[in-house]
Amino acid sequence: MNRFFSLHRLAAILAKEAIQMRRDRITFAMMLGIPLIQLVLFGFAINTDPKGLPSALVAASQDRFTRAMVSALELTGYYRFRHVGISAGEAETLIERGDVSFVVTIPSDFAERVERGDRPQILIEADATDPSVASGAISTLETVVSGALLRELGTEAESARSKASAMQVIVHRRYNPEGVTQYNIVPGLLGVILQLTMVMMTSMALTRETERGTMENLLAMPASPVEIMLGKVLPYLIVGAVQVVVVLSAAKLIFGVPFFGSMVLLLCSILLFVLALVLLGYTISTISRNQMQAMQLTFFFFLPSLLLSGFMFPFRGMPGWAQVLGEVFPLTHFLRVVRAIMLKGAAYPIISAEIAALAAFALIFALLALLRFRRTLD
C-alpha cells in the first residue's frame, strides 16, 4: 500500500465529504442560491437609468399647449404622470412623501403668453435626494418641451433657423440642490451597517450556545422563551446605539450631511429598525445548527436586501416585480425614513406608513422567533 497517496483512501474521503454536503442542506443551498440571486438581480432588476418615474402636474387649465408638453415629457420615457390637475399643496405632500419624483407646475396664463409671443416659463421640481434618479430626466428637459411647444405652434422650422427657444424651463432640485452623492449615500450607510452587524451578531446568539455546549444550562434555567429572547437581543441594542452615534457624527462632521428633521423622531425610528434586525437575527439563530450556517443565512438575506432596497441602485429604476420584492425588506423602509427626516425634514405623518412597516417587521420576527424556539436539543 502506498503510504503517500492512495486512490482508495481519496475515494473514501470524497464519499465522506459528499455525504456531509448532502446533510448540510443550508450550505449547499447557499452555494447555489447566492449565484442565482446575483445573476437574476444584476441581469433583470438593476437599472442605473430609471424610466417611468411617477410625476405630478399642477396646472390651472388643460389647454392644447399643456397637453402637448405633458405628452412630450411622457414620450421621453422618464415621466409617468399619475397625478394630474392637483393643487400645489397636494403636490408638496406627494413629493415630501416620496410618492412622486417630479412636480411640473404650469402657470394659469401660460397659453395666453404663448399666443402673445412671450417667452413663458414652467417650473419642474425634482426630488434630488438620489441625484442619479433626476439627472437623466433633467438633462434634455428644455429641448423636449420647447420642441413640443414649437410643433404645436407650427413654427418649429422657423425657430430652428433662428436657434431661439420658445420657452424657459426652471428646474428646482429639491432637498439636494448641488447633487451631492454623499447626502444620499451616508444616511443609507447607517441602515446598511446596522443591518449587517445586528443581524450577524444576534444570529449567532443561540448557535454559539449550542456549539459551546452551554445550551443545556440555558434551557434548564427557570426562564420563559420571551425572557431568553430579550436577554439575548437587548445587549446588542447598546452596540447598535454606539454605531448610530458614530455614523451620525461622521455624517455631520466629516461629510457635512444636512439635518432638517426631528432628532427624537429619527432616534425612535432607528430604535424600531434595530429591534426588528436583532429579532430577525434571533430568528435565524433558531434555524441554524452552527455559526457558519447562521453567517450564511445572514448573507443570503443581506445581499438581496442591499440590492433591492434602493441603497446602491435607484429603487424607481427597478421593474415592478423587483420593487414588490424590495418592499419585504426592513432596510427599504428605513432608508426612506432616514433620508426623509435628514434631508427633507419630514414629520411623523409623512413617514407614518414606513414606521408602521418597521413595527410590523419587528412583531413578525418576534413571533417567528418564539414559535421556532425549542425547549429541548432534539
Give CA–CA dist 198/176, Å, rounded: 30
Nearest one of 250, 276, 281, 284 to 337, comparing CA atoms = 276
Q: What is the pLDDT of residues 323-372, one digit of tens each?
A: 999 999 999 999 999 999 999 999 999 999 999 999 999 999 989 888 87
300 Cβ neighbours under 8 A, 6+ residues apart: 30, 33, 34, 37
Q: Give the pLDDT confidence score for residue 24 in this predicted structure.
A: 67
**Strand (E) or helix (H) holding 79:** strand 79-84
81 Cβ neighbours under 8 A, 6+ residues apart: 55, 56, 57, 70, 73, 74, 104
Residue 116 has a CB neighbour count (10 Å cut-off) of 9
Q: What is the pLDDT of residues 259-281, one digit of tens each?
A: 999 999 999 999 999 999 999 99
Give CA–CA dist 314/304, Å, rounded: 14
Give CA–CA dist 237/240, Å, rounded: 5
Domains and CATH numbers, the chain: 53-174 (3.40.1710.10), 182-372 (no CATH)
Q: What is the pLDDT of residues 19-75, one digit of tens each?
A: 776 776 666 666 777 677 777 777 777 777 788 889 999 987 778 888 888 888 888
- The fraction of the chain above a pLDDT of 90, given in percent, is 31
pTM equals 0.83
Give CA–CA dist 338/267, Å, rounded: 10
